[in-house]
Amino acid sequence: MCGIAGILSREGEDVVPLLRDMLGSIIHRGPDGAGVVASGKVCYANTVAAIDWDSMQGSSAMGHTRLAVVGGAQGQQPFVSNDGQITLLHNGEIYNYKALRGPLEKHYHFTTRTDSEVLVHLLSEYYNGNLVDAFNKVIPQLDGVYAIAATDGKDIIIARDLIGVKQLYWGGDEKFFAFASEKKALWSIGLRENVYRVLPGEIIRLSPSGLEQTRRTPEFLHPEEPTIHELEDAIRNYQVALQEAVKKRIPELEQVGVIFSGGVDSVLIAVIAKELGANLTGYVAGVEGASDVDFAIRAADEIGIPLRINHLDDQTLLEFIPKVITSIEDRSLGQVEVAIPIMASVELAHEDGQIVLFTGQGADELFGGYPWYCRVIELDGYGEFEFRMWDDLKQLYKETLEREDKITMTYGIELRVPYLDPQVIKTAFAIDPHLKLRPSGVDATEKDILGKYIHRVLASAVGVPEEIAWRPKEAAQHGAGIHGRFLTLAEKQGFRESITEQLGYHMKEELEENLGSSQRYGFKYDTPGHWATQDHVQLWLDNLAYEHGLLSPIEQKHLEPYLRQAARLIQQ
């Protein structure tokens, strides 16, 4: 795990000073070392500041800040192939790296035990002068999550894993192309516009003459027709896949944590990890009386793991908001209010010295956990239900995964997501959707219509307490009590509905994109008004972002008229 960045001049100019600024903006992602390559010269140091920058120059440069999980103290990047032709950066984890390493050891000299070194030698094995071709041959062999950058001295190739667990951004103008693990690295060199995500499964070739993009999608994980139609078969296959997914993600560490909301998803992961021998601690955050905190306490006591709780009051919430906006690079209400209990939990894990955390993300999309899925079936049938689950899964990269990776890496912690293991995904979509959720009026019991039926049955069978296994779905911002407090805090500051109505301010029109399936289509199926946009709360967040200098020049110019008028109306 780490932060990676790179830049390529389109005019032959020295870009090393710009790379230094880029790495300086993401040093939180890698406290265990740094490395840079420019014009074939590689330099390593304990920190970004300690790199011998004066000795480096070149029209193409890449750099790395390292969080050591696999390989211990060894494993400084960039890695260089034995013949010196390929230089590589890698952010992520390759879970089958030991199996891939075995055949390579006959022909390549390894200097570390890391998964990243396996990648550079594997690329070297297939390299014939075309680095994109080598990537296309290597990537199908990888079981893991990754953002990769490599150069052969001619081009820079960047790639992202199929599900998009690890993010990567790129941008460019007439002078240069650049890429980085977080947008703020691109912002640091003046790229505010023309910044894009590397999409899941995408490979991009950057060269002075331009760029080329190709993409491999995860459609092969979704069978054309379900092949598992019996309840017992579904549970058995799912259990095998999930246990293996958790097992391969348990690091060789003395301790590991889990973001522990007291819901079935995180508790099931905790039960399996504990059974596999992990020394586990749970972390939860919420306001006084929050249901997530109450359920987390009961669940931790029942399954026998220690629990750390971050109790949030109004002052703490106000302090977290600018930290969250800075971390996730987003000020939208839906993202910020979900991010706060996650960041508050991660902060405790950081205090405990954790460097790996598990999360339960992905189960809702695989097994039908969102409350509006039932109405999707009732109104549009199981085909639409299946489509929505799959589409929601493919949207996770921008709606959840990027946000939570940035939060955990703000504290130098790696997040692992067992439910997004390819075999778990493949197994989940091989299961007949009729076994996952039955809407009311189709001989459904109360347990059927909760969603994630297969998931909940397995949880109950392996030792998740019954009240947790069958706890109804509750969105993180509601379970932590954040949503209601945001509304109160905004109104205390004078940001009321009447103000946004007078200003003609509408959240959906002002934000770059509305994330989350609830905003994309869930409101069409769920209780009317339940997911209504709270324009005045968003305007309050805009104002906080403005006061803390967290808006881009373009955003600031656009929002200032609203904020000035709002200030006048509040004072009246």
Q: What average pLDDT does the segment 542-565 reach?
A: 92
Domain boundary among 216, 232, 260: 216
pLDDT digits (tens, 9 = 90+) for 192-219: 888 999 999 999 999 998 999 999 988 8
In a domain, 384, yes or no: no
In 3D space, the residue among 516, 253, 278 whose CA is nearest the CA of residue 418 turns out to be: 278
418 and 272 within one domain: yes
In a domain, 168, yes or no: yes
Is residue 317 scored above 70 in pLDDT?
yes
261 and 169 within one domain: no
In a domain, 274, yes or no: yes
Alpha-carbon dihedral sign for residues 60, 178, 115, 100: negative
pLDDT reported for residue 532: 63
Q: What is the CATH number of the domain that holds 288?
A: 3.40.50.620
Is residue 68 scored above 80 in pLDDT?
no
Domain boundary among 167, 200, 216: 216
Is residue 93 scored above 50 in pLDDT?
yes
| Per-chain mean pLDDT for the chain | 92
In a domain, 294, yes or no: yes
The partner residues of 62 in beta bridges, in order of sequence, read 6, 37
In a domain, 478, yes or no: no
For the chain, what is the domain count? 3
The partner residues of 43 in beta bridges, in order of sequence, read 36
pLDDT digits (tens, 9 = 90+) for 495-545: 999 999 999 998 766 666 667 787 788 878 877 656 566 899 999 999 999
Range of the domain at 541: 484-571
Q: How far is CA 276 from CA 235, 282, 412, 456, 457, in A?
A: 19, 16, 25, 20, 20
> Helices 482-492 and 314-328, interaxial angle, to 10°?
100
Q: What is the CATH number of the domain that holds 68?
A: 3.60.20.10
22/6 Cα distance (integer angstroms): 8
In 3D space, the residue among 48, 24, 18, 37 whose CA is nearest the CA of residue 87 turns out to be: 37
Domain boundary among 170, 196, 216: 216
128 and 7 within one domain: yes
180/392 Cα distance (integer angstroms): 25
Count CB atoms within 10 A of the CB of residue 567.
Answer: 12
In the chain, what percentage of residues exceed pLDDT 90?
82
155 and 113 within one domain: yes
352 and 228 within one domain: yes
The answer to whether 246 and 269 have CB atoms below 8 angstroms apart is: yes
pLDDT band at 73 (very low <50, low <70, confident <90, very high): very low
In 3D space, the residue among 330, 509, 477, 474 whose CA is nearest the CA of residue 402 turns out to be: 330
In a domain, 7, yes or no: yes
195 and 81 within one domain: yes
- The dihedrals phi and psi of 254, each to the nearest 5 degrees, come to -70, -25
Residue-wise DSSP of 295-309 = HHHHHHHHHT--EEE
pLDDT reported for residue 530: 60
540/544 Cα distance (integer angstroms): 6
408 and 344 within one domain: yes
In a domain, 522, yes or no: yes
155 and 112 within one domain: yes
290 and 200 within one domain: no
The answer to whether 395 and 401 have CB atoms below 8 angstroms apart is: no
Is residue 123 scored above 60 in pLDDT?
yes
In 3D space, the residue among 404, 357, 358, 364 whose CA is nearest the CA of residue 388 turns out to be: 364
77/86 Cα distance (integer angstroms): 13
pLDDT reported for residue 180: 98
226 and 207 within one domain: no
pLDDT band at 367 (very low <50, low <70, confident <90, very high): very high
pLDDT reported for residue 529: 59
Is residue 2 scored above 50 in pLDDT?
yes
What number of residues does the chain have? 572
In 3D space, the residue among 13, 42, 4, 5 whose CA is nearest the CA of residue 208 turns out to be: 13
531 and 415 within one domain: no
204 and 227 within one domain: no
In a domain, 140, yes or no: yes
